[in-house]
Structure 1
Amino acid sequence: MIAESFENIVIPITDFKKHIGKYLKELTNAKILLNHNKPSAVIVPYEQFKAMESIVEKQLDLELIKVMEQRLNDPNTKYVDSDEFFESLGV
């Protein structure tokens, strides 16, 4: 996607609404939807979304492993609620 020209990456939202079927049928890379010339959303092919989701899950697993290792090495580590933990990750 980086090699694509700006014109091939962005779609005005009004044009997207008018031709949604065409855009979805031809969607091979992520596209940025512009609303009043400002980025408002990104659409990606489903396979690309699933790949991104998998990467995020793996990253969360790595973060959990780091926390577990820290606790194993320090018995005085305080308990962290799961909500607090995920909030610290920005999730």
Structure 2
Amino acid sequence: MRPVLADLSVSISELKKSPSALLAQANGSPIAVLNHNKPAAYLVPAETYEALIELIDDYELAKLVEERRADKDQAVAVSLDDL
């Protein structure tokens, strides 16, 4: 069985009844939305989602930097004055 990765969990039916109240109750923490007692989705505040997207973007950029560092021997030397 998959673990529930949130302190607060609700059924889809409960979510439909009062989403605003649930968000207030969660106080900025994620909410696990369960379907047949299994996580179907996680509801996170917009600020948390935006921060996660930024972290993913930073991670992907860091991977690209590391890949390019590995190909350093193929780099072409350029003087800033020539640009």
TM-score by length of 2: 0.71
* Structure 1: 4+ residue segments shifted above 3 A: 24-27
Any unmatched runs of 5+ in structure 1?
1-5, 76-91
Does residue 56 of structure 2 align to residue 62 of structure 1? no
Max Rg structure:
2
Shift of 1:24: 3.4
Counterparts of 2:7 and 2:63, CA distance in 1: 36
Any unmatched runs of 5+ in structure 2?
76-83
Shift of 1:38: 0.6
Shift of 1:25: 4.3
Identity within the alignment, %: 23
Shift of 1:23: 2.0
TM-score by length of 1: 0.65
Cα RMSD, aligned residues only: 2.2
Which stretch has the larger CA shift, 17-26 or 51-60?
17-26
Give deviations 1:30-55, integer Å, cap 9, x for gaps.
Answer: 11100111100001011111111111
